[in-house]
């Protein structure tokens, strides 16, 4: 089969199919499965620490414990919460993860998608402080956000870091109207100074849509690509990166297609 260039495989909240999302075990497993990038969600605590958590409150991934609002709580108040036992007993006592600690365990040549959930200016200020201290290579970082304003602000702070606007196509199995919104997508990408788009997977996404976006100089990333067949189809259409809960399975399948 004539397969296009191999896309980057991005581990969605780590290898979240098997380990508790956005935790150290999940990210370590993702790299063990040879993910090219990991993707995590980040907030700024009341005491200005950037922590890895999808929701604004802790209840879903730290159940049966005190429910805390992340941005109104300190890291010290949250660091003893258990973010692992909801997934499996073997992950009991998994703690909330600081971005600065996560950056230290990323293998050489691997990267990170930092989804900014917290749109406050002081989040970017602290992110800047962390990146200065850790000296993590900017070429291996992607900033992503649903909020266009965050992308604009992020590019002002980090002009040499790629920033992708996350776009959710609501009609996941019907992209018949995608052409009608393509011009609006491109206008928004231009306006916010983005480097690419990070769109939710749909079987209706066409190669023409991908090519039109890439032709304007933007990267095209898809998230929620969780079957080998869908990953291969989107690879053949030219996607630059695929975000998945199953990094090992997807990487192995595509690698086999490239090297058989």
pLDDT band at 104 (very low <50, low <70, confident <90, very high): very high
User: How does DSSP classify residue 229?
Assistant: H
Q: How far apart are CA 171 and CA 258, in angstroms?
A: 31
Give the per-residue pLDDT at 4.
62
Phi/psi of residue 32, each to 5°? -60, -35
Is pLDDT above 70 for 153? yes
Q: How far apart are CA 164 and CA 147, in angstroms?
A: 10
Query: Which domains occur in the chain, in start order?
Result: 8-259 (3.20.20.190)
Q: How far apart are CA 162 and CA 145, in angstroms?
A: 12
DSSP bridge pairs for 166? 198
Give the per-residue pLDDT at 1.
39
> CA-CA distances (angstroms) from residue 102 to 60, 98, 235?
21, 6, 29
Look at 135 and 170; give whichever has higher pLDDT: 135
Spatial neighbors of 175 by CB under 8 A, at least 6 apart, are 169, 202, 204, 205, 206, 209
Give the per-residue pLDDT at 170.
67
Q: How far apart are CA 138 and CA 56, in angstroms?
A: 27
Cβ neighbourhood burial of 25 (10 Å; 0-12, 13-18, 19+): buried
Give the per-residue pLDDT at 29.
98
What is the overall mean pLDDT for the chain? 94
DSSP bridge pairs for 111? 37
Give the per-residue pLDDT at 171.
57
Is pLDDT above 80 for 186? yes
Residue 244's closest CA among 203, 205, 200, 206? 200
Is pLDDT above 90 for 3? no
Helix residue ranges per DSSP H, the chain: 24-32, 75-78, 99-104, 121-134, 148-157, 178-192, 207-215, 228-236, 247-259
Beta-sheet pairing, 219-223 with 241-244: parallel
pLDDT band at 257 (very low <50, low <70, confident <90, very high): confident
Phi/psi of residue 207, each to 5°? -60, -30
Is pLDDT above 50 for 2? no
C-alpha 137, offset from chain centre:
17
Give the per-residue pLDDT at 178.
67
- pLDDT tens, position by position, 84-102: 999 999 999 999 999 999 9
Give the per-residue pLDDT at 169.
78
Q: How far apart are CA 240 and CA 234, in angstroms?
A: 9
Mean pLDDT of 165-191: 79
Q: Which of 58-67, 115-124, 201-210 has the lowest mean pLDDT?
A: 201-210
Q: How far apart are CA 55 and CA 39, in angstroms?
A: 15
- Whether pTM exceeds 0.85: yes
Mean pLDDT of 44-60: 98
Mean pLDDT of 198-223: 94
Q: Are 152 and 116 in contact (CB under 8 A)?
A: no
Q: Are 185 and 177 in contact (CB under 8 A)?
A: no
Q: How far apart are CA 79 and CA 97, in angstroms?
A: 8
Q: How far apart are CA 12 and CA 16, in angstroms?
A: 7
Mapped onto helix, strand or coil, the DSSP state of residue 137 is: coil
Give the per-residue pLDDT at 260.
57
């Amino acid at each position: 089969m004539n397969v296009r260039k191999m896309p980057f495989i991005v581990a969605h909240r780590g290898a979240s199919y098997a380990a508790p999302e956005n935790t150290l075990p999940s990210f370590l497993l993702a790299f063990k499965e040879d993910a090219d990038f990991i993707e995590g969600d980040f907030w700024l605590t009341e005491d200005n620490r950037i922590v890895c958590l999808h929701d604004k409150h802790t209840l879903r991934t730290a159940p049966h414990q005190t429910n805390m609002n992340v941005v109104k709580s300190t890291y010290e108040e949250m660091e003893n919460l258990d973010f692992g036992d909801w997934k499996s007993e073997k992950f009991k006592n998994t703690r909330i993860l600081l971005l600065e600690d996560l950056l230290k365990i990323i293998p050489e040549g691997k990267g990170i998608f930092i989804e900014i959930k917290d749109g406050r200016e002081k989040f970017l200020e602290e992110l800047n402080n962390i990146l200065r201290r850790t000296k993590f290579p900017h070429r291996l970082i992607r900033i992503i956000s649903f909020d266009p304003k965050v992308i604009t602000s992020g590019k002002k702070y980090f002009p040499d870091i790629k920033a992708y606007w996350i776009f959710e196509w609501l009609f996941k199995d019907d992209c018949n109207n995608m052409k009608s919104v393509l011009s609006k997508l491109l206008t928004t990408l231009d306006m916010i100074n983005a480097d690419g788009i990070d769109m939710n997977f749909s079987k209706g996404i066409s190669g023409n849509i991908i090519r039109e976006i890439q032709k304007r100089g933007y990267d095209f990333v898809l998230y929620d690509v969780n079957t080998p067949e869908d990953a291969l189809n989107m690879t053949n259409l030219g996607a630059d990166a695929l975000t998945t809960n199953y990094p090992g399975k997807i990487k192995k399948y595509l690698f086999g297609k490239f090297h058989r």
